[in-house]
A = this chain, B = another copy of it.
Amino acid sequence: MRRDARLSRMLHVLIHMDRHDGPATSEVIARMLATNPVVVRRTMAGLRDQGFVRSEKGHGGGWTLARDLREITLLDVYRAVGRPPVFVLGPAIDHPGCLVEQAVNAAVDGALAEAEALLLARFGAVTLADLARDFDRRFAEAKGRRPPAAG
């Protein structure tokens, strides 16, 4: 299995929801993500708590977008899914008092912090509307070459 795909999956779902009228049930979303409804509810709970989506029970219920895609950045979604750890790489904490270890960790941590800052800045600069536009471009291109592709 790949690593943490919650951010990507939620981005995927939110864009689909924007292009879909009426609520989407966890069952329908699960099929989009090739998984099952419980994983969907678990992962989307954070988005609901942060006010990006709403959920309704009972007949005709399901998930609906609560905000315009232009108002949601990748960073917002990253935070809403719980700010999961970004890196596999990490410092060693074998002998916290060892000054060599401290010097090494300072260098590694510094580089990781810079990379994380850049990553989150990029995430903050892109809205879901931007992704949706990119999707439209890809769709138009695919249509120009072949019969309609699945969305």
Interface residues of A (CB under 8 A from B): 2-5, 7-9, 11-12, 15-16, 32-35, 74, 84-95, 97-108, 110-112, 114-116, 118-119, 122-123, 126, 130-132, 134-135, 138-139, 142, 149-151
Please give me the residue from chain B that is nearest to A135 by CB atom. B103
| A–B pairs, 29, beta carbons within 8 Å | A2-B91, A3-B90, A4-B88, A5-B90, A5-B92, A8-B92, A8-B101, A8-B108, A11-B108, A12-B98, A15-B104, A32-B95, A32-B98, A35-B94, A74-B108, A84-B89, A86-B88, A97-B149, A99-B135, A99-B142, A103-B132, A106-B134, A107-B131, A110-B122, A111-B122, A111-B123, A112-B119, A114-B122, A118-B118
